[in-house]
Amino acid sequence: MARVALVTGGSRGIGAAISTALKAAGYNVAANYAGNDEAANKFKSETGIPVYKWSVADYAACVEGIKKVEGDLGPVDILVNNAGITRDAMFHRMTPEQWNEVISTNLNGVFNMTHPIWPGMRERKFGRIIMISSVNGQKGQAGQSNYSAAKAGDIGLVKALAQEGARVGVTVNAICPGYIGTEMVRAIDEKVLNERIIPQIPIGRLGEPEEIARSVVFLASDDAGFFTGSTLSPNGGQYMV
């Protein structure tokens, strides 16, 4: 029987590529999304992947959403914590609302999704938790103190949970993408993209969502059973660790 994979923020951008790649690899995939019904329904019709709407910032909603997914598809074997938002501002101008929104989704949301799924993975002696962090969680970024803090927190959680899960067959790893050619990134002013962003990338181009998705498929597989507490950094050489 195919393993079940749940991808948060799984109907657009990097998340859509991850959901599609996992389905192609033979998993039963569920894609969570927060609010864009039109995009989610289009994704569902194009891929056949079921979509489930709830906010990862709401613990109770996560518990109910996970129950729905598991009732439809079976216990979740692979959880990809991909959902994330940005509310960028220089720190002296950042509002408490901007800080809290990002922390609630990008860091608390990872707890809210992982915590209800963790006991079942431990009992079944198998699980794959994959966090989509960011290069800016590794190196920091001006104007993104909230985002960088949350994404760095995700990496810390990976290292702690990996130690707890190792002896019960649950691996926990992070992927830290650099600049990826999603709709959001390609909407950046072309002059800024070509003169300020791409020159920071030694490979000389944006990454593609499918390149992140292939990393997820590997970490979800049996072949990655000796990887835990690890961080993959597909960033074109922008930041080397």
Chain position carrying tokens 């993408």: 177
Choose, from 27, 33, 52, 147, the residue flagged as catalytic. 147
Bridging pattern class, strands 78-81 and 231-232: unpaired
DSSP state of 29: E
E strands, the chain, are: 4-7, 28-33, 51-53, 78-81, 127-132, 170-175, 231-232
Does 147 participate in catalysis according to the annotation? yes
Alpha helices in 59-165 (DSSP H): 59-73, 96-106, 108-124, 135-139, 145-165
Residue 129's SS3 state is strand
Catalytic residues: 147
